[in-house]
Amino acid sequence: MNVVCVGGGYVGSVTGVSFAALGNKTTVIDINKEKVDLINCGKSPIYEPGLEFLIQQTIGKSLYATTEYHCIAEADVIFIGVETPTAPDGSADLKCVKNAAMSIGENINKNKFTVIINKSTIPTGTGEVVSSIVAEVSGLIPEKDFSVVSNPEFLREGSAIWDVFFPDRIVVGANNQIAKEIMRKLYKPVVTRENYHKLSEQYSNLNWEAPEKIPVFFETDVKTAELIKYASNGFLAVKISYINEMAKLCEKLGTNVLDVAKGMGLDSRIGSRFLEVSSGWQGSCFPKDTSELYLLSEKYESELSIVKAAIDANFAMHRYVVEKIIRFLGCLNGKIIGILGLTFKPNTDDARKTQAEFIIPHLLSLGANIQAFDPQGMEMFKKFNPDLDIKYCDKAEDVAQRADCILLLTHWQEFKNLNWHEMVNSLRFPYILDTRNFLNKQYLEEIGFYYQGLGT
Ligand code: UGA
């Protein structure tokens, strides 16, 4: 199929490159020339494991990148995968989606049926908005000449490529029979895994360990599909907030949240995933999606109080981490805190909205000095938090220099193998708070750390 993907960011680039890797002639359009140039040079515009490899394998063969919209005319399907950031009132800002719709309307082929796929996370009803913009600009008739469908992405940053090839489900919201047929054809290789053996040889650098479960191709109407995305992210956020609050209770009761989570997760109705304790959830998805979902529920006078509770519990968790350090160290004025991890989770350079963005200002306001390290996210964190007074370290071990506490916020795998021996000797006070319960507690205690996790 001829695929066009509008947007070369975290959603657009992964979607575009993956469909090119599956054998479709795919063009990624982005108005940012820098991103387009990077892709054309075989470089990834974001840090996402496997993405650069796939770009190098496909560029100029099945993958193309451009700042121009003319290629839209050849497309069978056009993905809209642009950003939908949070507007000042907490709702999703649809400016980029509307601009994309206008450009699609200006360039869409008037002599063939085209499917426009909303991949970005968009509020319920946006499909209709996109459809009317395209109709108005092009003069075409919706559902006769083109159709807008909803096909929300469920990609996790850090394992996004794998999530495209091996999703649990593919949700397609379509109100049009021809559009449904085209979507079935587009996703047939993923649902049937027909060429996967060949692809796994071709892309042997990637992890092709397929789960047994074949993805479910789930069809519904456009508005319902749009809501499924918010309902899913909202539910996952509730799940994490639940275990985070449980962690606090465990500390009071002297019980171990790791075992509580394990015991709960063994019930197949609950499941073990997304029960990992943290200093709270963050990222470019959960905060904006829970905010939009809650506003939507208020607007329709059907308040999702449980989502509001999860948001409040999340901020409380950020504060709890600081309170815990104070309980151990006392007054933080003049103390040095070494932070490990500035991204919202490992295996991404995405530092747009992270736990550190909330916890560091709180620590600074109490007079603490901050020195920090992240393997991929330092540049972006600096860019989005230019006013924070932070000493950025060249290597992870340096955060320990004369520090009174090491605070691990993101569980990058490489943090497991740091020279902890050197670090414990560099510290002024050997205290470590591991908010992900990730490091080897026994080893760290043996070499002289006062180790604390969360809820253990
Ligand atoms: C999330 C969803 O998981 C994806 O399905 C969805 O497509 C994506 O949002 C999106 O809307 O685009 P992502 O934001 O990449 O994906 O990250 P997650 O892996 O969901 O993690 C979100 C936050 O929750 C991170 O800060 C993570 O560290 C935290 N988390 C996750 C926990 O604290 N505990 C857990 O058990 C799991």
Nearest-atom number in ligand 1 for the CA of 355 is 26
Q: Whose CA is nearest to atom 13 of ligand 1?
A: 156
Q: Are residues 438 and 302 in the same domain?
A: yes
In a domain, 270, yes or no: no
Q: Give the Å distance between the CA of 286 and the centre of ligand 1.
A: 7
Instruction: State how beta strands 114-118 and 77-80 pair.
Output: parallel
Average pLDDT over residues 316-328: 98
In a domain, 98, yes or no: yes
**pLDDT of 415:** 98
Confidence of residue 194 (pLDDT cuts 50, 70, 90): confident
Domain count, the chain: 2
pLDDT at 188 over 90: yes
- Write out 263-314 in H/E/C secondary structure: HHHCCCCCCCCCCCCCCCCCCCCHHHHHHHHHHHHHHCCCCCHHHHHHHHHH
**pLDDT of 336:** 98
pLDDT at 205 over 90: no
pLDDT in tens, 369-403: 999 999 999 999 999 999 999 999 999 999 999 99
Tell me, what DSSP letter sits at residue 324?
Answer: H
**pLDDT of 292:** 93
Average pLDDT over residues 100-107: 98
**pLDDT of 207:** 80
Q: Are residues 200 and 318 in the same domain?
A: no
Q: Whose CA is nearest to atom 7 of ligand 1?
A: 154
Angle of CA points 60, 63, 67, to nearest 5°: 95
Nearest-atom number in ligand 1 for the CA of 155 is 7
Which amino acid makes up residue 206? L
- Token pair of 318 as six digits: 């950020």
- Residue 143: give its domain's CATH number: 3.40.50.720
Average pLDDT over residues 350-373: 97
Residues linked to residue 397 through DSSP beta bridges, in sequence order: none
**pLDDT of 11:** 93
Main-chain dihedrals φ then ψ at residue 98, nearest 5 degrees: -65, -40
**pLDDT of 184:** 98
**pLDDT of 333:** 98
Query: Residue 427: which residues within 8 A CB-CB, separation 6 or more?
Result: 400, 402, 403, 404, 406
Residue 114 sits in which domain range? 2-219
Q: Give the Å distance between the CA of 155 and the centre of ligand 1.
A: 9
Burial of residue 329 (CB within 10 Å: 0-12, 13-18, 19+) is middle
For residue 74, give the 3-state DSSP assignment. helix
Q: Look-up: residue for tokens 């992270």?
A: 354
Nearest-atom number in ligand 1 for the CA of 232 is 5
Average pLDDT over residues 304-333: 98
| Annotated catalytic residue 285 | yes
pLDDT at 351 over 90: yes
Last residue of a domain, one of 196, 219, 242: 219
Nearest-atom number in ligand 1 for the CA of 279 is 33
In a domain, 46, yes or no: yes
Tell me, what DSSP letter sits at residue 342?
Answer: -
Among 153, 170, 236, 415, say which to mutate for ligand 1: greatest number of ligand atoms within 8 Å of CB.
236
Q: Are residues 292 and 152 in the same domain?
A: no
Element (H, E) at 188: helix 177-192
Nearest-atom number in ligand 1 for the CA of 154 is 7
For residue 183, give the 3-state DSSP assignment. helix
Q: Sheet holding 450-452: strands in order across?
A: 390-392, 369-373, 336-340, 405-408, 431-434, 450-452
Query: Residue 265: which residues within 8 A CB-CB, separation 6 or more?
Result: 271, 272, 273, 275
Catalytic entry in 285, 331, 393, 405: 285
In a domain, 302, yes or no: yes
What residues flank ligand 1, with Cβ below 6 Å?
Answer: 121, 153-157, 233, 236, 240, 274-276, 278, 281-283, 285-286, 289, 344-345
Last residue of a domain, one of 193, 219, 245: 219
Q: With contact defined as beta carbons under 8 Å apart, do 104 and 115 qualify? A: no
In a domain, 380, yes or no: yes
Q: Percentage of the chain with pLDDT > 70?
A: 100
Give the residue among 117, 182, 128 at the shortest CA–CA distance from 150: 117
**pLDDT of 378:** 98
- Rg over alpha carbons for the chain, rounded to the nearest Å, is 23
In a domain, 224, yes or no: no
pLDDT at 210 over 90: no
Among 240, 242, 293, say which to mutate for ligand 1: greatest number of ligand atoms within 8 Å of CB.
240
Among 79, 233, 270, 275, say which to mutate for ligand 1: greatest number of ligand atoms within 8 Å of CB.
233
**CA 48 to each of CA 63, 81, 118, 161, 409: distance values in angstroms, whole numbers, following the listed order:** 17, 16, 22, 8, 20
Task: Enter the pTM of the model.
Answer: 0.95
In a domain, 248, yes or no: no
Last residue of a domain, one of 219, 234, 268: 219
| Rounded Cα gap, residues 346 and 55, in angstroms | 22
Q: Give the Å distance between the CA of 154 and the centre of ligand 1.
A: 10
Q: Are residues 214 and 124 in the same domain?
A: yes
**pLDDT of 232:** 98
In a domain, 228, yes or no: no
pLDDT in tens, 39-96: 999 999 999 999 999 999 999 999 999 999 999 999 999 999 999 988 898 888 999 9
Mean pLDDT for the chain overall = 96
Q: Are residues 354 and 442 in the same domain?
A: yes
Q: Percentage of the chain with pLDDT > 90?
A: 96
Q: Are residues 35 and 167 in the same domain?
A: yes
Q: Give the Å distance between the CA of 80 and the centre of ligand 1.
A: 21
Q: Are residues 28 and 164 in the same domain?
A: yes
| Rounded Cα gap, residues 6 and 84, in angstroms | 13
| Rounded Cα gap, residues 383 and 381, in angstroms | 5
Element (H, E) at 173: strand 169-173
Which amino acid makes up residue 124? T
Q: Are residues 172 and 86 in the same domain?
A: yes
